[in-house]
Amino acid sequence: MLCLYSPDQPDLYLRLLREALPECEILGWPEAADAAEAVTHVAAWGAPPGFFAYFPNLQVVFNLGAGVDSLLLRDDIATSVKIIRLLDAGMARQMTEYCLYGLLHYQREMDNYRRQQRAEQWIQRDARQANNVRVSILGLGELGQRVATDLLRMGYVVQGWSRRTRQIEGVDCRHGDAGLDQLLADTNVLFCLLPATPDTRHLLDSRRLALLPEGAAIINAGRGSLVDEEALLARLDQECLRFAMLDVFAEEPLPAGHPFWKHPRVIMTPHVAADTVPAEAVAQVAANLRKHAAGVAMDGHIDRLRGY
């Protein structure tokens, strides 16, 4: 039996899951509580603490999102339980849109024009062409790779960084500490599309942030923990960075009174850069559930040691 836990559109998910998996009994929550022993698979996002402990025979958790950091921090999922995440599921295209919005803000000087408008200044700045903007993407997975190839097609100069060596035609791919330092020093707009793991925590600390050239911009749509927020604030206050566009934060929702809320160089969104598309998520859950039943390896399997 499959149990669904989704605060977002639960009725739609249930309908889609039942259509996609007619052979499977599927219950929502809390309906599944009475049949908890029969539940072997759970599809969930944002489940409350202790939720997975209800299911003594749990085998697989399907994460209805890309990032699994919060699942891996929980103590109610036994290590024998497989964790499966979504691969793209409609998020990659949205991530390109989000990144492009920030990139155009930089390239077309919207931050500067907004400042000028407030000061009633009519100053025409020189137009900057895409092939004169160096974009660096930290994380070349499902999302980063798509953003890289989309921006490349639009004419930007694209560099990327990942744990293992990647080869993407037209993209200058780097890895390792030295590769990261070189990439940062050669960046106009930096996109953070890494997962939150112990290795990526505060990857962008004050030393690395200081490697970015004067006037660069940062767009973080990965996870808040990737950036040392205090160090970022200091760089913004010193006007070393033109702006930061932030979708994710160390603490979400961002606490009241946090300096990011009103910072003139911060553009904020409430963790909405790329939303799971239910139909695509359900198609992946259904395909994987059938693979599991057939004893075939599922796609999107999380390596707990690696943390993503």
Decide which of ligand NDP, ligand OXD, none touches 252; Cβ closer than 5 to 8 Å per partner kind: none
Within 289-308, the residues that bind ligand NDP by CB under 6 A are 308
Residues 93, 271, 290, 304: which is the catalytic one? 271
- Asked if residue 143 binds ligand NDP (CB under 6 A), the reply is yes
CA–chain centroid gap for 152, Å, is 20
Size, binding site for ligand NDP by CB under 6 A? 29
Nearer to ligand NDP, 18 or 93 (CB): 93
Distance CA 102, CA 267 (A): 9
Write down the least CB distance from residue 167 to ligand NDP, Å: 11
Strand-pairing partners, residue 204, are 227
Region binding ligand NDP by CB under 6 A among candidate stretches 99-107, 218-226, 230-238, 249-257: 218-226
Q: Which of 247, 260, 278, 292 binds ligand NDP (CB under 6 A)?
A: 247
Strands in 157-162's sheet, in edge-to-edge order, are 172-175, 157-162, 134-138, 189-192, 216-220, 241-246, 266-268
User: Does residue 94 sit in helix, strand or coil?
Assistant: helix
Distance CA 145, CA 171 (A): 10
- Asked if residue 93 binds ligand NDP (CB under 6 A), the reply is no
Q: DSSP assignment, residue 270? A: S
Residues 134, 208, 223, 292: which is the catalytic one? 223
Write down the least CB distance from residue 8 to ligand OXD, Å: 10
Amino acid at residue number 152: L
- Asked if residue 166 binds ligand NDP (CB under 6 A), the reply is yes
Comparing CA positions, the residue from 40, 149, 46 lying closest to residue 88 is: 149
Q: Which of 201, 263, 271, 291 binds ligand NDP (CB under 6 A)?
A: 271
- Asked if residue 184 binds ligand NDP (CB under 6 A), the reply is no
User: Does residue 98 sit in helix, strand or coil?
Assistant: helix
Nearer to ligand NDP, 71 or 273 (CB): 273
Comparing CA positions, the residue from 124, 118, 105, 70 lying closest to residue 271 is: 70
Nearer to ligand OXD, 67 or 139 (CB): 67
Strand-pairing partners, residue 191, are 137, 219
- Asked if residue 220 binds ligand NDP (CB under 6 A), the reply is no
DSSP secondary structure of 44-63: ESSPPTTGGGG-TT--EEEE
Query: Is 258 in the active site?
Result: no
φ/ψ of residue 174, rounded to 5: -125, 165
Decide which of ligand OXD, ligand NDP, none touches 221; Cβ closer than 5 to 8 Å per partner kind: ligand NDP
Instruction: Give contact residues for ligand OXD (rule: CB under 6 A).
Output: 65-67, 276
Nearer to ligand OXD, 67 or 278 (CB): 67
Q: Which of 26, 41, 107, 195 binds ligand NDP (CB under 6 A)?
A: 195
Query: Is 223 in the active site?
Result: yes
CA–chain centroid gap for 294, Å, is 31
Distance CA 118, CA 297 (A): 57
Determine the residue with CB nearest ligand NDP. 141
CA–chain centroid gap for 189, Å, is 17
Write down the least CB distance from residue 98 to ligand OXD, Å: 12
Comparing CA positions, the residue from 98, 52, 58 lying closest to residue 75 is: 52
Q: Which residues bind ligand NDP (CB under 6 A)?
A: 66-67, 91, 139-144, 162-164, 166, 193-197, 199-200, 221-223, 247-248, 271, 273-274, 308
Instruction: List the catalytic residues.
Output: 223, 271
